[in-house]
């Protein structure tokens, strides 16, 4: 059987193929496509019972119906987040949907810290200068993070690793989540109301999933609570931040630095080469003009360790599907006939 994977990155493909070879030994062929799965490309999945999706694919009701009509019965998302999939429609169509519920939390947490340190110490601006042999320090002053306050929004696996690193820096820890994590409490974290966290933290890092109640969690009201010299980092989902509100905050000269690995309108932009095109997304273009803002292309998860785990788990999900099993990674269970 041929299985098709969408949105496959060049560095990801060897790891995905290796996981397939080890698990299936040639019983199933893997077809890797760089294009993203959406209404315009859904026809390419016709005849494929199993489809491997990426986080930047659009799997709304219309796309899912096209897949089902074309013979698809199982969708394996190569990511933890699944806000791009209409799970209700998938269930109505009798589609099995699985995801990767766990991979290296260190990949994302460490990258979040890379963003935080880069904007704090003006690393990108410094590199641009030194490449032109400009070695002045004017405008490059950062500040020690030791002794300051880190606000961790979401203290699951990734947030906990972020908190451990903050603890290693000697930072005071504030946390916000629906439940207190004993590992974070052991680090000395104090769980507080969201308003207090944003008001007191010198560094705020977002580690919650994108859901109805977290969409635009960071809005104009929340940003107004933050210190003028605070740092904001988002390596989770772009929709957590109201971009218009963030732009207004930056225009007012507030926030010392912002590190964004995600953007709420990233679909159709991130993972693609847009260098020869006019950037029609005015909000993204405007973000890029601020010297204290660093935007990367949803790469926090992108380590060999994490991508290898994602590939292995995806293969496990496919094996579960063929065996008629459901597990912790199953979002929509197979229809019982």
Angstrom distance (rounded) from CA 114 to CA 109: 9
Active site residue 237: yes
DSSP string, 293-336: EEE--S-TT-SHHHHHHHHHHHHHHHHHHHHT---TTEEEPPPP
Active site residue 266: yes
Structure tokens at 258: 């912002």
DSSP string, 222-248: HHHHS-TT-EEEE-S-GGGB-HHHHHH
Q: Please tell me which residue in 266, 277, 283, 333 is annotated as part of the active site.
A: 266
Angstrom distance (rounded) from CA 185 to CA 174: 10
Q: Please tell me which residue in 78, 99, 122, 237 is annotated as part of the active site.
A: 237
Give strand ranges (E) for the chain: 2-5, 29-32, 50-53, 74-77, 96-98, 149-153, 172-176, 190-191, 203-206, 231-234, 257-260, 293-295, 330-332
Burial class (CB in 10 A: 0-12, 13-18, 19+), 202: buried
Catalytic center residues = 237, 266
């Amino acid at each position: 059987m041929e299985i098709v994977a969408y949105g496959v990155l060049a560095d990801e493909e060897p790891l995905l193929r290796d996981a397939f070879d080890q698990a299936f030994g040639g019983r199933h062929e893997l077809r890797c496509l760089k294009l993203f799965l959406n209404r315009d490309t859904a026809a390419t999945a016709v005849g494929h019972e199993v489809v491997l999706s990426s986080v930047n694919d659009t799997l709304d009701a219309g796309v899912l119906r096209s897949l089902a009509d074309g013979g698809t019965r199982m969708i394996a998302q190569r990511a933890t987040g699944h806000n791009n999939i209409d799970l209700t429609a998938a269930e109505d169509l009798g589609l099995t949907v699985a995801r990767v519920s766990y991979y290296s939390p260190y990949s994302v947490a460490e990258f979040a810290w890379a963003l935080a340190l880069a904007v704090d110490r003006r690393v990108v601006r410094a590199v641009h200068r030194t490449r032109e042999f400009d070695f002045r320090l004017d405008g490059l002053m950062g500040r020690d993070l030791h002794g300051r306050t880190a606000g961790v929004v979401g203290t699951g696996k990734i947030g906990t690793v972020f908190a451990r690193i903050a603890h290693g820096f000697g930072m005071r820890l504030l946390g916000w989540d629906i439940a207190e994590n004993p590992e974070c409490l052991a680090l000395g974290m104090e769980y507080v109301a969201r308003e207090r966290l944003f008001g007191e933290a010198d560094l705020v890092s977002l580690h919650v999933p994108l859901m109805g109640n977290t969409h635009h969690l960071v809005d104009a009201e929340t940003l107004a609570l933050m210190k003028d010299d605070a740092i904001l980092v988002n390596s989770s989902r772009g929709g957590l931040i109201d971009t218009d509100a963030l732009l207004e905050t930056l225009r007012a000269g507030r926030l010392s630095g912002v590190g964004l690995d995600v953007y709420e309108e990233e679909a159709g932009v991130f993972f693609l080469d847009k260098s020869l095109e006019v950037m029609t997304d005015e909000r993204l273009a405007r973000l890029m003009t601020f010297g204290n803002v660093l935007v990367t292309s949803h790469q926090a998860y992108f380590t060999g360790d994490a991508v290898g785990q994602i590939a292995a788990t995806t293969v496990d999900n496919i094996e579960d599907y063929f065996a008629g099993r459901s597990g912790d990674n199953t979002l929509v269970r197979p229809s019982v006939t």
